[in-house]
Each structure stands twice: as C-alpha cells, then as structure tokens.
C-alpha cells in the first residue's frame, strides 16, 4: 500500500511530473496519455493513439504510442490546469519507476477488488493521492464511505456526494473525480 503514495512522497518526481502534465495542453494536438511511468531518469507517457511526431525535448518510441522526456528537460510549470487530474499511482516496478494511470480515462467505473479491507485501503490511498498531488489541485474529489481521518487530512479537497446536489457546490473547479469506497453505501 505504501507504494501507492510514493510518487507523491518523492517531491522531485512529483514536481517533474506536474510540470510535464501542465505543459501537455500547449502541444499541438494535446497528446492524451492514459498511463505514465516516471523514474529518476525519464518520464514515459503511454498514449491511447499513436502520435508519431513529438516536439523537442520529447522522443517517440513504439511508433508514437510512447513519448519519453529525459529528466532535467521538463518545462517550467505552466499556470494552466493539468490534462490528467485523475492520474494516480498504482505501483512501482522493479526498476524503480512509479506507474500511474488516469482514472478519468476509463470508459465507465473503475473497480478495486479482492480482500475488502485491502480494497478499502487502496481506495482510501487513491483518494488521498487525488487530494494531495499537484496535478489534481483544480479537481474536486468526491467520495462516499471514506474514513473520517481522510477528510481531516484532505480538508475541503474532498467532498461528500451530497455536495454535488447543492445549488452551487463546487465553484471554480474544472473537474470532478468521484468514487465510493468498497462496501460503502
């Protein structure tokens, strides 16, 4: 479970990834990654559709399905929002790269299955990451059945489903990321 929060805990990687994600909107055609791998040497964007030409400093691999940027070549963070506010860490591979997926890219619900207690911990960790990572700051995280301690840590960054029903619940927010902890009503 601790791996789920490592990219957020690795401040340098989080800063690099935030700068990269905020720069994607300025690239013609705005490549839309569904997954990211980031390590100390590079960031790898996995694209759903091949984009065979990438502007410098990006390099293209796998006929445009993967874009790679070497560490140290990241642009200055742009003030605009991130194209991937739903990007969350799902693990770390043996080489040390953190693997992230964009929950918003899923066409439908994303389920966490298995042992109910472990699934609940995973969902809680994902919600915490969505509330604390810099590329999700413009998004509102909505969750049901999450621990009270999470609401205390995340403050106003996490809302109840009832907030969506209010007249003007989420002013100034670009995206809403919703979820329900397994076993919650």
- How do residues 79-135 score in pLDDT, each as one tens digit? 888 889 999 999 899 999 999 999 989 888 888 999 999 998 889 989 999 998 999
Last-in-domain residue among 103, 132, 151:
103
Structural domain boundaries enclosing 7: 2-103
CA-wise closest residue to 67 among 103, 105, 96, 27: 27
As a whole number, mean pLDDT of residues 6-23 equals: 84
Last-in-domain residue among 103, 122, 148:
103
Are residue 33 and residue 74 in the same domain, yes or no? yes
Number of domains in the chain: 2
Are residue 88 and residue 115 in the same domain, yes or no? no
pTM beyond 0.85: no
How deeply is 28 buried, as exposed, middle or buried, from its count of CB atoms within 10 A (0-12, 13-18, 19+)?
Answer: exposed
pLDDT 10s digits, 33-72: 999 999 999 999 999 999 999 999 999 999 999 999 999 9
Last-in-domain residue among 60, 86, 103:
103
Instruction: Look at the block and give the residue holding tokens 């109840």.
Output: 160
Are residue 124 and residue 172 in the same domain, yes or no? yes
CA-wise closest residue to 122 among 27, 1, 8: 1
Are residue 72 and residue 130 in the same domain, yes or no? no
Are residue 117 and residue 95 in the same domain, yes or no? no
pLDDT 10s digits, 118-131: 998 889 989 999 99
Domain membership flag for residue 172: yes
Are residue 163 and residue 96 in the same domain, yes or no? no
Domain membership flag for residue 185: no
Task: Specify the pLDDT at position 162.
Answer: 80
Task: Specify the pLDDT at position 11.
Answer: 87
Are residue 97 and residue 15 in the same domain, yes or no? yes
CA-wise closest residue to 173 among 129, 122, 125, 130: 130
């Amino acid at each position: 479970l601790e791996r789920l929060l490592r990219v957020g805990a690795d401040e340098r990687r989080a800063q690099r990834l935030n700068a990269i994600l905020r720069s994607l909107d300025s690239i013609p055609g705005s490549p839309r990654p569904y997954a990211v791998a980031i390590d100390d040497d590079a960031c790898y964007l996995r694209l759903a559709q091949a984009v065979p030409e990438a502007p410098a400093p990006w390099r293209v691999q796998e006929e445009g399905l993967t874009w790679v940027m070497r560490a140290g070549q990241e642009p200055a963070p742009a003030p605009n929002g991130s194209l991937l506010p739903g990007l969350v860490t799902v693990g770390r591979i043996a080489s040390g790269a953190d693997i992230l997926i964009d929950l918003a890219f899923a066409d439908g619900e994303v389920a966490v299955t298995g042992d109910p207690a472990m699934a609940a911990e995973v969902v809680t960790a994902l919600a915490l990451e969505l509330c604390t990572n810099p590329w999700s700051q413009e998004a509102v995280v909505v969750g049901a059945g999450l621990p009270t301690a999470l609401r205390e840590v995340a403050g106003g960054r996490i809302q109840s489903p009832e907030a969506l029903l209010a007249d003007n619940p989420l002013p100034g927010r670009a995206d809403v990321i919703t979820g329900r902890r397994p076993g919650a009503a």
